[in-house]
Structure 1
Amino acid sequence: MPSSDRPAAPLPWWAALPTAAIGGIVADLAYPDVGWWPMVLPGVALVLVALIGRGFWMGALIGLVYETVFYLVQIQWASQWVGPIPMVALSLAGGVVFAIGAGLIALAYRWLPRAWPRSWPAWPLRLVLLPIAVAGLWTAREAIFSVWPYGGFAWGRIGHSQIDSPIAHLYAWVGISGMTFLVVWLVALVVEAIRFRGIRGYLRPIAPVLLAVLMLAWPAWSQAPTGSLRIALVQGDGPAGYFDQRGAGDLLAAQVAATAPVIERVRAGDRIDLVLWPEGGSDWDPQTDPYTASVWDAITRATGAPLLGQAITDRDGVYYNTAILWHDGRALDTYDKRHPVVWGEYIPDREFFRLLVPELVNMVGREYAFGTTDAVMDLPTDEGTVRIGVNICYDIVDDALLRESVLEGGRVILATSNNADFGRTDESAQQLAFARIRAAELGRSVVNVSTVGISAVIGVDGRVVESLPWYQPGTIVADVPLYDSITPAAAAGRVVEIVVSALGGLLLLGAGLVLLVTRRRERGPEPTE
């Protein structure tokens, strides 16, 4: 028969809420700018301990507190120029979605032990199934908020915290969602090993130690470069912020001035395959503005290489944030940003939100459409055509888009961004960390260029090879390795995420069904007249 015992709550409710809040603050320390990756472990542990023994609604409240506090610390940069309303709203949105997941995790802690037959040994439940269910439900919650609502907010996932840890090589095998699952699984397993009293004390650490050793000892994905591109990235340090004071042409002038050292290198005998400018590096579209076209032409002639720049393009009154590959006086290819930033580049349900916060809504006068172009371009070089993956700013957090650029043949990933609106906050460092994770996950070198920093060349292992300081014009000219192989994470795509999420959901559902059937049996048959 299933057990009817409810797990005892380690903490009273009045202590569980501040414990969850502390957990959110502690977990944030694992991300840039601090970047102490081990801190995600006690951060997750604190909220899990707070959830044990709770019902759905109390668990949801605990989850709301944890995630809201986490995001309030994590995305302080969102209040840099426009005040606290966007930051608080986004934090609460994340908190509400996490609250549902936390409520389900609380039910897992309550239902699975009660549904487990008393005659069976308890250790497979407590040291195997329950931690897997908890990790699967956590991963599912992250997966949902990464794409919903309004395209989601795939920022600050547990899987984003481990690029500097000894298990960073696992990104190539399981991706970001898989990393979330493994980290939460390990933490949940440690929590259960400490709580469980069904076996001798010296046996309880065996399961978490074995999992940790397996994660550490798992071999790194091995691949060899199949060529290289000599890329000159240019950080112009122009006045690209939303509230920066600038005159017509100042952005373009800053990029041209910062590109001068590259031109000097070419005149001295260096060879360049591509000049890379950031998002926000040009005032006008060279496809429609003759002056801008003449400047871009001058850059390509002086360097002997195509220029990948960015401009706002207007097509019949619809605006796009567009990367343009320019050479020989024309655009060879374009990429339209797939994910304009909500509340920055577009306002969802504008009329509704104008009733709530009219000043903020009216601040975004020009909205950008969602791009539909593919995320690869064919770059002509002296040695043949090289296919490159291209993305713009917030695109870097889109799992499907980045994977698409690799599966469609991209041999290197070029990430352009404009971080001028966030000053010297953690945002730029966090975005650079995401670019590093993409390199390790997808098995591609990543060149990350920003208007004001942090611009860097990133190796296939996720390590920064070379970078430029913040808020200084500068260039990096580097031979960037090209790769052709497909990592297991890229090949699997969302399969890992779906499987582990479904596993958590099915374990919870199965326990609920067992309890429902048991309750009906205990009530006996309905009396008949």
Structure 2
Amino acid sequence: MISPPPLPLGRSLLLAGCTGLLIGAGQAPMGVWPATVTGLALFTWLVAGRRPGSAFAHGVLVGLAMNALTVSWVSVLGAWVGVALVVFLSLWWGLLALVVSRLVRLRFWPLLVPAAWVAMEFASGRIPFGGFSWTRLGFTVIDQPMSGWLGFVGVTGASYLVALVANALLFALLDRRRRVRVLAGTVAIFVVGGLLNLAPHAEPETKMTIAVVQPNVNREEHGTASYARSVTNNALSETVFALAEARTNGGPAPDFVLWPENATDVDPIDDPVTRRMVEVAALLAEVPIFVGAVMNGPEPDTRQTSSLWWDPLDGPGDIYHKRDLVPFGEWIPFRDVLLPRLPILKQIGRQSVPGEGPGVVAAPIAENPHLLVGTIICFELAYDDTSYDAVRGGGEVIVSQSNTNTYGGTFQPAQQLVINRVRAMETGREIVVSTLNALTGLVDTRGRVHGLTQEFDAAHRIVEVPLRFNVSLPVRIGSAPAWAALAITLGALAYALLRREPGAGSIARNNSPQGQPHDQH
């Protein structure tokens, strides 16, 4: 057993900040996944053997650095929103550090610490207000061999494997006797993942053609009187360009046109001007339009973010309302209490009301009157069960509709594209990505992006998409692995707290020949 050398408080805190930056470097748009693996190993080493208060403090500092690097883009909603989110998320990291500092006492800590990472991601993705899990470890595997595991263990399993590799490498440094076996097992994770990437997908019998529209809208117009009209007018204009291309290139005609989230920022059913623009677009296309719309909610002064099927002859049809809303972005928790005390919250606008049920709509087209389209609306991508429900509910074609306008020029659009790629690989389904002004295209089942648009461009793409009916293992088992990781972590933590002495294979932290604990701060 090798004990880490002692570190003065200043260096220890500096290392904590560097550790957070390393862990965050694996997220988009950086994508330096070896840095994440290194940072995870340092995290365990840094908090091992510390007293509870010190472990928690070091974990919070790691979290502050990591979250400030990766998700501070939310500050476009207001600096206070960004600060509050980063600080709150970092508390989860402090709790994780506290748990890890106890788990490393146990013999099988290299297997238990990764379970704690999964448990933390699971809990922070639910608590409070629906949670926020935009930077999970599993999202860092997309451009490396471990991505092959996504179709078999999902993003939850991928998070476990990333943390397992990191802690196995740390264990190999600490235990010379078992170093070769541990390193061989680590290499096997990458090799098997690479081989799984070669597993063939069944060739679909039927395909369909979709015209995908990226309207583009000036970010500075957001929230002004002209924004609601300009975004829908841009969608109509770009639809005309898409139709012109489709009718002159000799390829198949589109089966429907896909508009992104918030392509109409006013209810297209109730507002006559907006309704007329959608009707004109559908009549020109001569096929349905799948409209991302902001609609009036069920109560006064409320709204819903929706996906609405619009037929050129029959008008509005089936509809899905977004289930997972952004707290303090789309709705205000404790609105009656907070709004009078924090007037800045008025910029959020009307309170959004979540929908219910899976994101699957009846989408009849001429060639397939029973077609079902599964949709995932923007922030919902971060939620496993919501994303999986688009497949479980019978969606034969999966689309992702997003409003990236608010976060243009930040890390958010690149991170969202990576999550789309992860979802495509774990579900074994192509995903048609439609955004307002950033990174529209088609993601295939290997996670590759085709026809990617540029940010702040009005653009369109004509894509051929297979109709699939497969349901992958991650979709079938859903959140069961995350619940299992949470149960294992809680059980192991209880056992570790009942033990007085570190077990074999644990990490010890000494700073003197007498073995007095280093951590006194």
TM-score, length-scaled by structure 2: 0.89
Counterpart residue identity of residue 67, structure 2: Y
- The yes-or-no answer on 1:189 pairing with 2:184 is no
Counterpart residue identity of residue 459, structure 1: D
Q: 1:477 is paired with a residue of what secondary structure? A: strand
2:324 paired residue number: 339
Q: Deviations for 1:182-237, whole angstroms, at most 9, x for unmatched residues?
A: 1101111110110125x276566344344444444456554322422201010111
How many residue pairs match? The answer is 494
Q: Which of 271, 279, 287 is the equivalent residue of 2:269?
A: 287
Bigger relative contact order, structure 1 or 2, given CA contacts below 8 A and separation 6+? 2
2:65 paired residue number: 69
1:118 paired residue number: none
Distance in 2, matches of 1:482 and 1:466, equals 19
1:43 paired residue number: 39
Q: Which of 256, 259, 265 is the equivalent residue of 2:239?
A: 259
Distance in 2, matches of 1:510 and 1:279, equals 48
Q: Indicate the percent of aligned positions where both proteins have the same amino acid.
A: 25
**Greater alpha carbon shift after TM alignment, 199-208 vs 378-387:** 199-208
Check whether the contact 1:31–1:37 (CA below 8 A) recurs between aligned residues.
yes
1:205 paired residue number: 183
- The yes-or-no answer on 1:451 pairing with 2:436 is yes
Deviation at 1:139, TM superposition (A): 0.9
Distance in 2, matches of 1:421 and 1:285, equals 19
1:272 paired residue number: 254
1:106 paired residue number: 101
- The yes-or-no answer on 1:433 pairing with 2:411 is no
2:148 paired residue number: 169
Go from structure 1 to structure 2 and tell me whether the alpha carbon gap of 1:48 and 1:355 turns closer, same or farther (over 3 Å shift). Answer: farther
2:507 paired residue number: none
Q: Deviations for 1:453-477, whole angstroms, at most 9, x for unmatched residues?
A: 1111110111102211111111100
Q: Deviations for 1:322-362, whole angstroms, at most 9, x for unmatched residues?
A: 11110024222111111221111111123554476x24222
**Greater alpha carbon shift after TM alignment, 447-456 vs 316-325:** 316-325
Counterpart residue identity of residue 252, structure 1: T
2:16 paired residue number: 20
Distance in 2, matches of 1:212 and 1:475, equals 37
Check whether the contact 1:71–1:91 (CA below 8 A) recurs between aligned residues.
yes
Counterpart residue identity of residue 31, structure 2: G
Q: Which of 304, 312, 331 is the equivalent residue of 2:286?
A: 304
Counterpart residue identity of residue 163, structure 1: I
- The yes-or-no answer on 1:388 pairing with 2:368 is no
Distance in 1, matches of 2:355 and 2:387, equals 14
Check whether the contact 2:17–2:61 (CA below 8 A) recurs between aligned residues.
yes
Check whether the contact 2:291–2:309 (CA below 8 A) recurs between aligned residues.
yes
- The yes-or-no answer on 1:375 pairing with 2:370 is no
Q: 2:242 is paired with a residue of what secondary structure? A: helix
2:513 paired residue number: none
1:468 paired residue number: 453
Deviation at 1:441, TM superposition (A): 0.9
Deviation at 1:179, TM superposition (A): 0.7
Counterpart residue identity of residue 44, structure 2: L
1:86 paired residue number: 81
Go from structure 1 to structure 2 and tell me whether the alpha carbon gap of 1:204 and 1:264 turns closer, same or farther (over 3 Å shift). Answer: closer
Distance in 2, matches of 1:502 and 1:283, equals 43
Deviation at 1:60, TM superposition (A): 1.1
Check whether the contact 2:4–2:45 (CA below 8 A) recurs between aligned residues.
no
Q: Deviations for 1:403-433, whole angstroms, at most 9, x for unmatched residues?
A: 1111111122111111111121111111111
> Which aligned pairs between 1:117-266 and structure 2 lie closer than 5 A?
125=107, 129-197=108-176, 199=177, 205-218=183-196, 222-224=200-202, 225-239=204-218, 242-243=222-223, 246=226, 249-266=229-246
Go from structure 1 to structure 2 and tell me whether the alpha carbon gap of 1:226 and 1:169 turns closer, same or farther (over 3 Å shift). Answer: farther
Q: 1:444 is paired with a residue of what secondary structure? A: coil
2:26 paired residue number: 30
Bigger radius of gyration = 1
Distance in 2, matches of 1:207 and 1:460, equals 27
- The yes-or-no answer on 1:503 pairing with 2:503 is no
Counterpart residue identity of residue 234, structure 1: V
TM-score, length-scaled by structure 1: 0.87
Go from structure 1 to structure 2 and tell me whether the alpha carbon gap of 1:191 and 1:6 turns closer, same or farther (over 3 Å shift). Answer: closer
Q: Deviations for 1:15-63, whole angstroms, at most 9, x for unmatched residues?
A: 3322121011122221122222222111212212111121222111111
Counterpart residue identity of residue 171, structure 2: E
Q: 1:422 is paired with a residue of what secondary structure? A: coil
Go from structure 1 to structure 2 and tell me whether the alpha carbon gap of 1:132 and 1:350 turns closer, same or farther (over 3 Å shift). Answer: same
Go from structure 1 to structure 2 and tell me whether the alpha carbon gap of 1:13 and 1:398 turns closer, same or farther (over 3 Å shift). Answer: same
Go from structure 1 to structure 2 and tell me whether the alpha carbon gap of 1:306 and 1:203 turns closer, same or farther (over 3 Å shift). Answer: closer
Check whether the contact 1:7–1:52 (CA below 8 A) recurs between aligned residues.
no
**Greater alpha carbon shift after TM alignment, 303-312 vs 139-148:** 303-312
- The yes-or-no answer on 1:321 pairing with 2:302 is no
